[in-house]
Amino acid sequence: MTAPISLRRAQVTALAALAFGATVLTACGAEETRSAGVAGDGAITVENCGETLSVDAPITDLYAYDGGIISIALAVGARDELAAVTGIARDKQLLELAYPEDRVDELKVVGDDQPTLETVLALQPELMFAGWNYGFSEARNLTPAKVEEHGIETYLLSESCRQKDGARGTMEPWTALRTDLLNIGELTGHGPQAKRVAADIDERRKALKSAPKPAKKPTAFLFDSGTDAIFTSGSFGAPQAIFDTAGVTNATADVEDTWTEVGWERFAAAKPDVIYFVDYPGQSYAEKVKVLKSNPASRDLPAVKENRFVNLPYAMFVSGPLNIDAAEWVRRSLEHFGLAPDSGIDPSLDILDITKLTNLTGNEWIR
């Protein structure tokens, strides 16, 4: 399919920093295009990871990778614009639960677990929505620059924007999510729906923030996976936003990265009150529990001995609109374990439904 005439990734000047609520730009400048043309009067322009992306008409052919990224497109109303997806298998049941009207089971799935340049070129979408280590990787020869060489636009997940040293994360996680919701909404012609989703998240965040506080703020540790080291999330990852909103301290909040590895000594020193697992292929819930109960650094901690484990789906912990659902679940778990007063807040994703997800194990605490 032929992509719309576009302006691509002109470096944004230092003065172009935007306020939190104004991350979406809808201007039609006379910037130079790849074909030396000029954008039309209906151009849509957004800022993405410090660069500008402009298209002369709403995107109608979108390719997305990863459950969290796919959920952003679905949430803003861009289901019909999703021409193809990759990496949805682990989150398909969750997305069907969260977006029951969006025919998730009918999405065109291409490739295996990871996108490849060959897959993208075969599809020829107008726009590829992925992120650094969420599909894009120099090691796998799939980068925005490489894709753009073939006339295909790219949009980077804002959580994965890179710092000068290459580490991911340049903005507060809720800001990153809001940016993507509004930008993808604008780019696909669904700006009003994107604003409604952002407003709903804001309202639910406000409710959680206003919930009664415990006398002592509990500590959470995000355990994605681990054997020799632990893969977890730092201050720029979505779990930071989730924990902050739910009223619990992220044990690795001092790590200025999104997803990263830490040693077992960090886990032992944190003495977490609750351990949150990312339900993710490669290490099962049972295997994670076994590691924690056998490692000398963790086996004697009260949270481990008392089985204070919460297992939530991958797409609830990576940047996406389901982060607010994760925050509600985290708050519910704190209340269950006696670490926070009753708030009267029920998760919007029904507990009985989510525990019936056949690929989600554990969570005996709510059964």
Identify how many contiguous H helices and E strands the chain contains and give both numbers: 13, 15
* Dihedral Cα 255, 241, 71, 144, nearest 10 deg: -40
- The confidence score (pLDDT) of residue 339 equals 98
Report the half-sphere exposure of 64 (CA within 13 A, side-chain side). Answer: 27
Report pLDDT digits (tens) over 61-118: 999 999 999 999 999 999 999 999 999 999 999 999 999 999 999 999 998 788 999 9
pLDDT at position 39 is: 52
Three-state SS at 116: coil
Identity at 106, one-letter amino acid code: E
Domains of the chain: 6-201 (3.40.50.1980), 212-366 (3.40.50.1980)
Residue count (the chain): 367
pLDDT tens string 324-365: 999 999 999 999 999 999 999 999 998 667 667 888 888 888
Q: What is the pLDDT of residue 40?
A: 58
Interval 38-52 mean pLDDT: 83
Q: Residue 170, Cβ neighbours under 10 Å: how many?
A: 18
Q: Which residues contact 143 (CB under 8 A, 6 or more apart)?
A: 136, 137
Nearest to 244 by CA among 338, 323, 157: 323
Give yes or no for residue 32 having a pLDDT over 60. no
Pairwise CA distance, residues 367 & 356, whole Å: 10
CA 265 from centre of chain: 27
φ, ψ of residue 55 to 5 degrees: the values are -130, 150
